[in-house]
Chain A
Amino acid sequence: MVSRDLVIVGGGPAGMAAAVSAYENGVKDILVLERDQYLGGILNQCVHTGFGLEYFKEILTGPEYAERFIEKVTRVPEIEVSLKSFVVHLAKDKTLTYIKPGKLETVRPKALIMATGCREKTREMVHIPGTRPAGIFSAGLAQKLINIEGLLPGKEVVIVGSGDIGLIMARRFTLEGAKVNAVVEIQKQSRGLLRNVVQCLEDFEIPLYFSHKIAKIYGKDRVEMVDIVKVDEQFNEVAGSQFRIACDTILVSVGLIPENELIEMAGVELDKNTNSPVSDEVNETSIPGIFVCGNSFKVYDLVDSVTKDSVIAGRIAAEYLRSLK
């Protein structure tokens, strides 16, 4: 089995910042495992601006922000990047098993940083009644289809939840020629940034319904329409407030959950509500030498905060490695 000083799982903004920071703090044997075919993670599909103002004092798009770190990571020979490498098992002693095309590999690092990001909550997690036709996407999946694959998932859209990705996608669908009929938010205010309500909805006169929810989804093979209903302070449906909107597509943008199944497999204690590791110190876990950073530690609003958090993780992993000697 191959031994390594430091393995980082995830080559998105968190993993790349942690790798650079660990290197700058003296770690000279680093392996980054990334499941996709390129570095950058979710930033690659975030083609809009709004990244980097805090960290770089510039307004960048997602791919531009990623490029800054891809350049740094690929310039350092001590940081090895293994792409198309998907970790399938993590043991308590930090032994990782991963698959890459044609191979099954194991590696045992002295320290491990998990930078696995988060995933989107689904329709099933918010309990929307109705049929189960085609045409229901999480907002981030729709973003990937449009910006990476060049496919438009639908023509008439209703968006559930006003998270930032949902708001950004309302604009993206509109620019691509689709019609966004409504954004429906159960809370009294937007979950996303105010600037996104302005530049993604108001700019295009897209209706936003606060204190409303989808009462039912209709459609046999494909989504055909939804019932929307007003809710009161206790989120109970208000009688007589129901109305119907035709659509062929529903986007779900109702929040993110840290992706921590691997460390759970290794026995790290997780908070059942947030799916974050239980820890006294930022980035640490209940198993010494396993660190978690970025959105897998805590879901951040800004990538700049992910970078800052991951720089700390890189530093404390380096300190931990020094303490072993």
Chain B
Amino acid sequence: MIKKITCIECPKGCSLAVDIENCKVVSVTGNECPKGEKHAKAEVENPMRILTTAVLAEGLAVKMVPARTDKPIPKSLLMEAMEAVKRIRVERPLGVGEVIAKDLLGTGADLVSTRRVEKTS
């Protein structure tokens, strides 16, 4: 079975034709780079997404700390992950890439800050 999907790895948005047999990817065409093939496989077998959001700050120079998971997490866990994110408060200054929450929902992915955040001046 051929399934058409749009690659979301980069802004190019290649249109991929994915040949699937028994829920497994046999071949991928239409991708302009190797990321497309990897994406197609993951999309069919276990779709993953990087979660990007913002976390409440307390006593810092900003009200919200922008954050992301350091690697993709299962798409099906995005909403549950947000429930966990909403309970977090960042109370200490952070650098870019510093961990806010380790091993989010047991996915193995850490929630990390994407902005340098200082104390209230």
Which residues of A does B touch, CB under 8 Å?
44, 47-50, 53, 59, 61-64, 67, 70, 146-150, 175-177, 193-195, 197-199, 203, 301-302
Known pairs A44-B115, A50-B11, A193-B13; A175 contacts B64 (CB<8 A): no
Q: Which of B17-25, B50-58, B98-106 lies at the interface with chain A?
A: B50-58
How many angstroms between the C-alpha atoms of A198 and B4 in the bound complex?
12
Contact between A195 and B7 (Cβ–Cβ < 8 Å)? yes
Contact between A149 and B52 (Cβ–Cβ < 8 Å)? no
How big is the B interface, by class? Answer: 20 to 34
**C-beta contact mask, B44-81 vs A, less than 8 Å → 1, else 0?**
00000111111010000011101110000001001100
How many angstroms between the C-alpha atoms of A236 and B58 in the bound complex?
51
Residue of A nearest to B54 (CB): A147
Chain B positions 3-46 with a Cβ under 8 Å from a chain A Cβ: 5-11, 13
Pick the contact of A47: B5, B56, B114 (CB < 8 A).
B114
Residue of B nearest to A302 (CB): B11
How many angstroms between the C-alpha atoms of A149 and B63 in the bound complex?
6
Instruction: Report, nearest first, the 9 A-B pairs whose CB atoms are least far apart.
Output: A194-B13, A63-B115, A47-B66, A195-B8, A195-B13, A61-B114, A63-B114, A147-B54, A199-B8
Q: How far is the CB of A55 from chain B (nearest CB, A)?
A: 12
How many angstroms between the C-alpha atoms of A59 and B39 in the bound complex?
14
Known pairs A49-B68, A59-B10; A150 contacts B50 (CB<8 A): no
A-B contacts besides A59-B9, A150-B63, 6 pairs, CB < 8 Å: A61-B66, A63-B115, A67-B96, A149-B63, A175-B53, A302-B11
Pick the contact of A53: B5, B7, B10, B66 (CB < 8 A).
B10
Residue of A nearest to B63 (CB): A150
| 19 pairs, A vs B, C-beta closer than 8 Å | A44-B115, A47-B54, A50-B10, A62-B66, A63-B66, A63-B114, A63-B115, A64-B114, A67-B96, A67-B116, A147-B64, A149-B64, A150-B54, A175-B79, A194-B13, A195-B7, A195-B8, A195-B13, A302-B11
Which residues of B does A touch, CB under 8 Å?
5-11, 13, 49-54, 56, 62-64, 66-68, 75, 78-79, 82, 96, 114-116
Q: How far is the CB of B118 from chain A (nearest CB, A)?
A: 10
Chain A residues near B78 (CB, 8 Å)? Answer: 175, 203
